[in-house]
A and B are shown apart, each in its own frame.
Chain A
């Protein structure tokens, strides 16, 4: 469980201005427990690829298998949690109510829901805020609540589309650390989209650099950093070397423009 396999995935959008090749021949295997970051300029297909894994888009060619099933089957089996850039919490529900939402839809009992909500609030360090409404929380806390919601039903896979993009650097650092802690504790497979090179290098075991027109994988970089990563690791030469490699990959991908 928790594996994603993409083989020759292509996706072309038919628009009024002509076809848009969002993805072309993307092949990638994500193993269980991997933390894979997707980085690249706008329009390189990172979001489209993540959405294809989530069965929110259908590829026009190629195959995607999640947990050994068709992507849509995996979606129906609730195999993943999705986190967007905006928290997307319901203003008419408290934080606990928001986290409870997928649990209610999936049919968990009241007692189970209570237990899961408490556990997952603790994971994201929002215990005690369950009774508050989203507008009473800061942006960073709302995003943490959104992550808690994605974790509540114990899916093996977590798909995150620039979750910290709208937050300032200080909050981002803290949340990066918290996410890494969470990953260590839960062992989930994480697909993470970001525009920030340091964030990609800090968080992931593998970095996928993509380039646009058509959207394709430009380079896959295996991170040589150890799993234990305090924030200070960002000033070490090893980190800078990996970041340099990522930057090279990005530049390479854009040389066709």
Chain B
């Protein structure tokens, strides 16, 4: 209970502020409508009206909750309106992109740590790749892939991988370089080969850094997938849902999709944290 109380307190404050903001932002339209109908609204009526709009500027928490509920439970899972269906499309592309990006990051990190040539040639390009605004690249990537006949999961996974490989690369390089001079001297005194030094010293040292960067990478991968779903013509996934919501002014739909994406990200990070705990405990690094 002692852990839940602070969290619940902060949550309550957030919800209260949200309600206040919803009233404030939706009031102009409600007043405008009332003026056109020639009505005069009392404060209580005004507040009520701001909570029930079809296309509010800022949906109230209960409206978003209802939108989420409708999207998850109110539809068949295979229907185009189902948040579960869209969520699954986004999730599958995210997982694919995350796997590719993490693997690429790890392999490149191993290369960078072991070869000066790779270090000097790859690192600058890796950094440069992240400075490209992904929103500008995404449509291009989709179009290029589509012209080659590849649509659906793969192009989105590529954008996802692009965004997620960098944290893993940086984290792994730092982790693999952790062993200090004394540890390396000890290995030299035993005449250990580079492979032996890698598997027995560098890799175990890098585990905490790997998991920290995986948590960052999975969030970036989700963002990448959603960005990949935004370009014109997207019909599936949470990003597409966000886009169609904004086209048709369905703000509740937008917020419901947003919350679904946030919940997905939280779940993914929690899973990685769970795996981290298990691995570190087996390694004897968790006390």
Range of interface residues on B (Cβ < 8 Å): 10 to 19
A170 within 8 A of B: no
B-side contacts of A102, CB under 8 Å: 190
Q: Are A75 and B189 in contact (CB under 8 A)?
A: yes
Chain B: which residue is nearest A149 at the CB level? Answer: B186
B-side interface mostly: helix
Other-chain residue from A55, A81, A88, A94 in contact with B284 (beta carbon distance below 8 A)? A94
A106 within 8 A of B: yes
Range of interface residues on A (Cβ < 8 Å): 20 to 34
Q: Are B204 and A81 in contact (CB under 8 A)?
A: no
B188 within 8 A of A: yes
B148 within 8 A of A: no
A54-B189, A75-B189 known; A92+B200 contact, CB < 8 A: no
- Closest approach, in angstroms, between the C-beta of B195 and any C-beta of chain A? 10
A-side contacts of B192, CB under 8 Å: 105
Q: Are A92 and B191 in contact (CB under 8 A)?
A: no
Max chain B C-beta neighbours (<10 A), residue from A54, A78, A88 = A88
- Closest approach, in angstroms, between the C-beta of A57 and any C-beta of chain B? 10
Residues of B146-199 at the interface with A, using a CB-CB cut-off of 8 Å, are 182-183, 185-192, 196
A-side contacts of B186, CB under 8 Å: 82, 84, 88
A-side contacts of B10, CB under 8 Å: none
Q: Are A81 and B285 in contact (CB under 8 A)?
A: no
Max chain A C-beta neighbours (<10 A), residue from B183, B284, B285 = B284
Interface 0/1 of A162-180, CB less than 8 Å to B: 0000000000000000000
B-side contacts of A56, CB under 8 Å: 185, 188-189
A88-B183, A101-B200, A105-B196 known; A78+B190 contact, CB < 8 A: yes
Chain A: which residue is nearest B183 at the CB level? Answer: A88
Other-chain residue from B182, B190, B204, B284 in contact with A106 (beta carbon distance below 8 A)? B190
Interface 0/1 of B4-17, CB less than 8 Å to A: 00000000000000
A-side contacts of B132, CB under 8 Å: none
Residues of A57-100 at the interface with B, using a CB-CB cut-off of 8 Å, are 75-78, 80-82, 84, 86, 88, 90-94
A239 within 8 A of B: no
- Closest approach, in angstroms, between the C-beta of A120 and any C-beta of chain B? 15
A105-B200, A133-B284, A135-B287 known; A88+B189 contact, CB < 8 A: no
B232 within 8 A of A: no
A91-B284, A92-B283, A105-B196 known; A75+B182 contact, CB < 8 A: no
A84-B182, A104-B200 known; A92+B284 contact, CB < 8 A: yes
Q: Are A92 and B204 in contact (CB under 8 A)?
A: yes
A105-B190, A106-B190 known; A91+B285 contact, CB < 8 A: yes
- Closest approach, in angstroms, between the C-beta of A116 and any C-beta of chain B? 14
Other-chain residue from A81, A86, A133 in contact with B189 (beta carbon distance below 8 A)? A81
Q: Are A75 and B204 in contact (CB under 8 A)?
A: no
A-side contacts of B201, CB under 8 Å: 90
Cα distance, A108 to B201, chains bound together (Å): 19
Cα distance, A101 to B183, chains bound together (Å): 12
Interface 0/1 of B191-217, CB less than 8 Å to A: 110001000110010010000000000
Chain A: which residue is nearest B184 at the CB level? Answer: A56
Give 6 A-B contacts (CB < 8 Å), ordered by A residue. A56-B185, A82-B185, A82-B189, A93-B284, A94-B284, A133-B284
Task: List residues of chain A with CB under 8 Å of any chain B CB.
Answer: 51, 54-56, 75-78, 80-82, 84, 86, 88, 90-94, 101-102, 104-106, 133, 135, 153
Task: List residues of chain B with CB under 8 Å of any chain A CB.
Answer: 182-183, 185-192, 196, 200-201, 204, 207, 283-285, 287
